[in-house]
Amino acid sequence: MSEKKHRVSRRQFLNYTLTGVGGFMAAGILSPMVRFALDPILKEEAGQDMVAVAQVKDITTEPQRFDFKVKVKDAWYESEEPRSAWVFKDEKGDIVALSPICTHLGCTVNWNGEKSNPNRFFCPCHYGLYEKDGTNVPNTPPTAPLHRYEYEVKDGTLYLGKAKPRGEA
């Protein structure tokens, strides 16, 4: 191609410069605002402190419900939110702390909540059932086991962290 065919007309040149300058200005105005709006997804997820929940000597092989409070910071609003856990020792003597939140639609499950299904967790909303170790019973609404709390034991006291899906805690 010859040099001539590449000549930029006055109109084209003005179009390019104006688009460039305009785009630069628009980007300068919009990028802080967009970053401002996207902030929640780019903020690091806040870790959660381990909270003292129970004395280890009180924990039996029978699941017991323990209520506790966690500190929650929602932007400028700080509060203490109630949580609870079903805690017991399994056959190996390890502590298991299950979240009472049904994995179906988030209702609260109870141990031995229904007479015809002894030794199971029962969700009254849609008759969801879980075995003692939290595994969901097939052919009931829940599709995943109850979440397990991260835990640690210090000086005979049980501390709980975040509830995570089975396999992650």
Partner 1 sequence: MLNKIYDWVDERLDITPLWRDIADHEVPEHVNPAHHFSAFVYCFGGLTFFVTVIQILSGMFLTMYYVPDIKNAWESVYYLQNEVAFGQIVRGMHHWGASLVIVMMFLHTLRVFFQGAYKKPRELNWIVGVLIFMVMMGLGFTGYLLPWDMKALFATKVGLQIAEATPVIGPAIKTLLAGHHEIVGAQTLTRFFAIHVFFLPGALLGLMAAHFLMIRKQGISGPL
**In the complex, which residues of this chain contact partner 1 (CB under 8 A)?**
29-30, 32-33, 35-37, 39, 42, 75-77
Closer of 22 and 165 to partner 1 (Cβ): 22
Query: Rounded to the nearest whole angstrom, what is the least distance from the CB of residue 12 to partner 1 in the complex?
Result: 13
Residue for token pair 């979240």: 99
Closer of 76 and 81 to partner 1 (Cβ): 76
Closer of 35 and 71 to partner 1 (Cβ): 35
Query: Rounded to the nearest whole angstrom, what is the least distance from the CB of residue 24 to partner 1 in the complex?
Result: 14
